[in-house]
Amino acid sequence: MQLNKIKQQISLIIDGSNTKEEKLQAICNYLESEISYYDWVGFYFKNGDKNELKLAEFTGEPTDHIIIPFGKGICGQVAVSNENFVVQDVSEQDNYISCGWKVKSEIVIPIFVNDENIGQIDIDSHTANVFTEKDEELLEFTCKEVSKIF
């Protein structure tokens, strides 16, 4: 992974003149096309005052899981824990919401604005045991950049 090049591209998207929604969609599209094992890339955000997440922009197969209650699945757990969640093998998770039989691993990184967890980036992969510290570094960077447009 060419970490610096990818980070630069993320910053270019954030610093551009598009709308927030266009920037989030561009990040999804870019990451999915740039990194071969990123098969689904999406953003979930806290749904108003409710203790639930709502799907925003994404790239990949459509999912039924538009709304995810806090605490449910990998995403809902990150909404509560405020910590990265790297799942190398989804079949080993009890509290997991499947978005298709092809998905083998998943990484979810929270987005903070003024220390508040406002949402997250969620990546699914069709390959197990594929995520490394480089993915966490890249996605933490991406989430920090995204926080600037909120």
Contacting positions for ligand SME (CB under 6 A):
40, 42, 63, 65, 68, 73-76, 96-97, 99, 106, 122, 124
Q: Scan for tokens 């806090």, then name that residue.
A: 70
- Min dist CB 77 to ligand SME, Å, is 7
- Min dist CB 25 to ligand SME, Å, is 16
C-beta nearest to ligand SME: residue: 73
Alpha-carbon Rg for the chain in angstroms: 14
Report the residue number, 1 or 60, with the smaller CB distance to ligand SME: 60
Report the residue number, 74 or 138, with the smaller CB distance to ligand SME: 74
Alpha-carbon distances, residue 104 vs 86, 91, 110, 125, 130 (angstroms): 12, 7, 21, 6, 9
Of residues 80, 89, 92, 102, the one with CA closest to residue 130: 89
